[in-house]
Amino acid sequence: MKKIVILISGRGSNMEAIVRAQIPGAAIAAVIANRPDAGGLEFAASHRIPTFVVDHKAYPSRDAFDAALADAIDAHAPDLVVLAGFMRVLTDAFVVRYSGRLLNIHPSLLPSFPGLATHRKALEAGVRVHGATVHFVTPALDCGPIVIQAAVPVLPGDDEARLAARVLAQEHRIYPQAVRWFVDGRLGFADGGAVTVRGEQDGPAGWTVPPVEA
DSSP state of 8: E
Distance CA 82, CA 15 (A): 8
Q: Which stretch binds ligand GAR (CB under 6 A): 3-11, 21-29, 44-52, 147-155?
A: 3-11
Smallest gap from Cβ 138 to ligand GAR, in A, equals 14
- State yes or no: residue 4 binds ligand GAR (CB under 6 A): no
Radius of gyration, CA atoms only, the chain: 17
Residue of 147, 168, 174, 195 that binds ligand GAR (CB under 6 A): 168
Q: Where in 65-156 does DSSP place strands (E)? A: 80-83, 102-106, 129-136, 146-153
Closest CB to ligand GAR among 10 and 139? 10
> Binding of ligand GAR at residue 85 (CB under 6 A)?
yes
Residue pair 81/105 in contact (Cβ under 8 Å)? The answer is: no
Beta carbon of residue 87, minimum distance to ligand GAR (angstroms, whole number): 6
Residue 86 burial (10 A CB sphere; 0-12, 13-18, 19+): buried
3 forms part of the interface with ligand GAR (CB under 6 A): no
Nearest partner of 11 among 210, 159, 151, 171, judged by Cα: 171
Q: Does 107 bind ligand GAR (CB under 6 A)?
A: yes
What would the x/- binding string for ligand GAR be over residues 25 to 64, using CB under 6 A? ----------------------------------------
